[in-house]
Amino acid sequence: MTEPFRLAILGCGAITRSEHIPAVSAHPGVQLVALVDTDLPRAKALIRNRGLSCRAVADYREVLGQVDAVVNALPNHLHVSSNMDCLRAGVHVLCEKPLAITAAEARTCTEFAEEKKLVLAVGMNRRFAASHPLLKLIIEEGQLGSIQNYDFQYGGAFDWRSASGFYFDRAKAGGGALLDFGVHMLDSVIDWFGPVSGFDYQDDDWGSGIETNLFLDLKHAGRFGEIPGHLQISRTFGLKNRLLVRGAAASAEISVRDPEVVVIHRVIGGAPVSQTLQLENFSGGSSYWRQLDNFVQSIANRGKPEVDGWQAVRVLELIESCYAHKRRIAEPWTEIGAEIRAEARR
């Protein structure tokens, strides 16, 4: 077996702690050589607490001569500059989503990686849940009949304890719930149903640029014809937290809680029945481990990763269009405040 790739993780925030360190530690194809964080004590404490044998470094540029690859989990606004520095130094990059906060920047990174013949993979761990390829098979093999529409909802009280809290700062996060979580959902639906040919977008941004709730109606024009879909995201309250794909013969459901299986609903002789399907021979590990594995295989084989920069560009272009054409969600229960304003003017 070849030597494992030397790898550094940039950023010691929440996702590094909960997912990237366990994935990297469990993968024989990589050797963790450094944890990077401008808050050096944080990186050191993490190394100590997890019993890791790697260096703590405050500036990622210090490790660029010493690693083959990085996992980039810095706050969103730092992705592009750090990705470019890594690529310039000949280092392969697995970058947390979103690849950049603008499509143009994502494009620049992607083109540069191509030019340098380096792997630039985008962290879309949901692609590596077993239900993702399984639903793709189910749709492609016509198991649902012709696809009528889909409904995709994800919501809950926001509780992401980011170390820096960058996600509520427009300049650092680049957007709200759509950019943060919508990237996953849009990446998935584009992969399943094809390119987006039309949309109608509403959110509850009152001027900060950080939407908390959103509704997005989409139309896909892919090889299954035109498919309408409805997407809803909330950072304030619980939703159904599932994707439901309705076909002429049956429906398929993926629950956010159990993304390893697909439940098929159909009616037999007037009785509704359901059946849980799962892929056999699907490799173990967390979705983050599988994502890392795909990254490692892509580097080893000089191949294309499952989610490359171009897919990120497509998704970011769509998000930018949504933001550019957004309408405000009606919140009639807030209008009593507007009355007061009218009174004050009188």
Partner 1 sequence: MNWRNETVFVTGATGFIGGRVCERMMQAGLPKVRALVHGMHRAARIARLPIELCPGDLLERESLRQALGEAKVVIHCGLGPASGIVRGTENMLAVAHAAGVKRFIHVSTAAIYGITPPPGSESEDAPLRRTGDAYCDNKAAAEKVVLKYGERGLPVVILRPSIVWGPYSAWNTRLMDDLREGRVALIAGGHGACNTTYVDNLIDAMALGLENDRALNQAFFITDGERVSWGDFIRAHMALMEPMPEVGEISRAEIEASRGRSSGLLLGSVKAAARVARSKEFRQMLMQVPLTEAAMKRAWNWVSALPPEKRERLRARFGVRRAVAKSANAKFIPDAVTEGTQSTTVFFSIEKARKVLGYEPRVRFADGMKLVEQWLRYAAYL
Q: Which positions lie near partner 1, rule CB under 8 A?
A: 155, 157-162, 165, 168-169, 176, 204-208, 210-212, 234-240, 331-334, 336-338, 340-341, 344
Q: Which is nearer to partner 1, 1 or 338 (CB)?
A: 338
Q: From 90, 127, 85, 120, select the one nearest 106 (Cα to Cα).
A: 120
Q: Which is nearer to partner 1, 110 or 234 (CB)?
A: 234
Angle between helices 183-193 and 131-140 (to 10 degrees): 30
Q: Which is nearer to partner 1, 48 or 304 (CB)?
A: 48
Q: Which is nearer to partner 1, 162 or 275 (CB)?
A: 162
- Nearest approach, Cβ of residue 123 and partner 1 (Å): 20
Q: From 12, 32, 14, 36, select the one nearest 23 (Cα to Cα).
A: 32
- Nearest approach, Cβ of residue 148 and partner 1 (Å): 23
Coil vs helix vs strand at 116 = helix
- Nearest approach, Cβ of residue 307 and partner 1 (Å): 27
Distance CA 334, CA 346 (A): 20
Q: From 48, 66, 68, select the one nearest 56 (Cα to Cα).
A: 48
Token representation of residue 104:
């143009």
- Nearest approach, Cβ of residue 322 and partner 1 (Å): 15
- Nearest approach, Cβ of residue 183 and partner 1 (Å): 17
Cβ count within 10 A of residue 177: 24
Q: Which is nearer to partner 1, 95 or 233 (CB)?
A: 233
Token representation of residue 52:
């890791």
- Nearest approach, Cβ of residue 314 and partner 1 (Å): 26
DSSP result, 11-59: --SHHIIIIIHHHHHH-TTEEEEEEE-SSHHHHHHHHHHHT--SEEES-
Q: Which is nearer to partner 1, 271 or 338 (CB)?
A: 338
